[in-house]
Structure 1
Amino acid sequence: DYNHQIRHVVAGWPGSVHDSTVWASSSPARRPDSFFDANQYQAGDSGFALCLRMLTPYRLPYAAESGNNAFNTGHASLRVVCEHGNGILKGRWASLSCLPVFIRRSGDVKIVCDWILACCVLHNVVNLRNGEDHVPLFVEEIRQGNISDSPVVESSLIWREKIKSELLSYLGLN
């Protein structure tokens, strides 16, 4: 979030799996109303499917339209905050960039997941000790499965248009 607090962790997927696949398997994606208030959402890059609570930028050719272009610029600013939070996490806990654990048996995967989760919890604790607001950490270990991308539904398109309109109004561009 804006305070670089980690709100949810999904541990257990190999690094080669696309973020959108991991997201689609997560509890917030499957039950968004349990994790997001009415005006909250996750800002994903263009590799994610647009759906309620996963706000994505406009893709070409629609991205070239002026209002959509301004929306994408604002959306990119949100993504920078998310990526900066990831950078802070990896900067604090350098072991996350190269875990010193060899995976030889199934129990080793659990050690790696626990290591990642511990770093995330400690990251939030450090933030809290520096006066940041408390945000509960939701932890989810996932089972790998065959996840299919959900189609973009009309309500998701309307939702994104509403947010775009609010952003453009705030920026004085409409």
Structure 2
Amino acid sequence: MAIVDHTKRFRYIHYGYPASSSDQRVQRAIEPLNTPSQYFSNQEYLLADSGFTASSVVVPMFKKSAGQAVLRGKTVYFNSRASVMRVGVEHSIGVLKARWTILRSMSMRLRTKRDEAMAHAIIVACTILHNILINTDEYYTEENTGNLPIEPLRDDLPAEEVAEDDFLGAGRLRPHMRRRHELVEQMLALETEEIDIDNFILS
């Protein structure tokens, strides 16, 4: 699991969970999300996949509620705009793997704690070098992205990842959901062309 900023630098990496682990399980293990006051200012937050749980610093994509066929209106609008940043994360990982071939061909068997520590050290070293190279002229090009496929945007989830209702009742937003709705309004205010939000579709 990786946290990447708007400049495509890796700010945090977490190693140790298999790909089958749920986003919520991984989220509970990430130190910056458990102690946000040590890592985030009041206006800082993370955009995350829909499998993550909203918090004071995590703004996940909207996900379909039980029985909901498709997302509509502001929810699909937010997901479409936020997914641009998500693609940036995928590109960062693609560049990382393309530049450091050891990440594509690691064949060591993780049988001991020492093996795991060595694999983790290699990954950390590669991400540090990646961050350093961002300041050079050799930045992101079509050739060095590794041509890795971009995973499709998810708005449907396994049964154990139940969608949270954004509202408490009587139109009152849950505290951790408020930031996401505020972001939607800010994004709409910045649009240069009028958008028919009620009929907005994901293109």
TM-score, scaled relative to structure 1: 0.77
Partner of 2:133: 126
Mind listing any 5+ residue stretches in structure 2 that lack a counterpart?
140-160, 167-173, 198-203
Equivalent residue letter for 2:104: S
Are the counterparts in 2 of residues 71 and 168 from structure 1 also a CA contact under 8 Å? no
Partner of 1:12: 16
CA shift digits 1:140-171 (9 cap, x unpaired): xxxxxxxxx9x968111111111111111112
Are the counterparts in 2 of residues 45 and 57 from structure 1 also a CA contact under 8 Å? yes
* Superposition pairs of residues 78-117 of structure 1, within 5 angstroms: 78-117=85-124
Mind listing any 5+ residue stretches in structure 1 that lack a counterpart?
133-148
Give me the whole-angstrom Cα distance separating, in 1, the residues matched to 2:101 and 2:52. 28
CA gap 1:52/1:62 in 2 versus in 1, 3 angstroms: farther
Give me the whole-angstrom Cα distance separating, in 2, the residues matched to 1:105 and 1:72. 41
Percent of aligned pairs with the same residue? 24
CA shift digits 1:56-101 (9 cap, x unpaired): 1211239623122211111111211111111111111122233131
Question: Which 4+ stretches in 1 moved above 6 angstroms?
Answer: none
Are the counterparts in 2 of residues 63 and 72 from structure 1 also a CA contact under 8 Å? no
Structure (1 or 2) with the greater helix fraction: 1
| 3-state SS of 1:104 partner | coil
Give me the whole-angstrom Cα distance separating, in 1, the residues matched to 2:20 and 2:35. 25
State the 1:19 CA deviation.
4.1
Partner of 1:142: none
CA gap 1:28/1:127 in 2 versus in 1, 3 angstroms: same
Partner of 1:59: 63
| 3-state SS of 2:135 partner | helix
TM-score, scaled relative to structure 2: 0.67
RMSD: 2.6
Partner of 2:200: none
CA shift digits 1:21-51 (9 cap, x unpaired): 2232112111123222222221111111122
Equivalent residue letter for 1:156: H
CA gap 1:97/1:20 in 2 versus in 1, 3 angstroms: farther
State the 1:20 CA deviation.
3.7
Partner of 1:21: 25
Q: Which has the higher contact order (CA 8 A, sep 6+)?
A: 1
| 3-state SS of 1:8 partner | strand
Larger radius of gyration: 2
Are the counterparts in 2 of residues 62 and 68 from structure 1 also a CA contact under 8 Å? no
Q: Which among 41, 45, 49 is matched to residue 41 of structure 1? A: 45
Give me the whole-angstrom Cα distance separating, in 1, the residues matched to 2:99 and 2:24. 26
Partner of 1:163: 183
Are the counterparts in 2 of residues 42 and 55 from structure 1 also a CA contact under 8 Å? yes
Are the counterparts in 2 of residues 43 and 56 from structure 1 also a CA contact under 8 Å? yes
Give me the whole-angstrom Cα distance separating, in 2, the residues matched to 1:20 and 1:130. 38
Higher mean alpha-carbon deviation, 10-19 vs 157-166, is at: 10-19
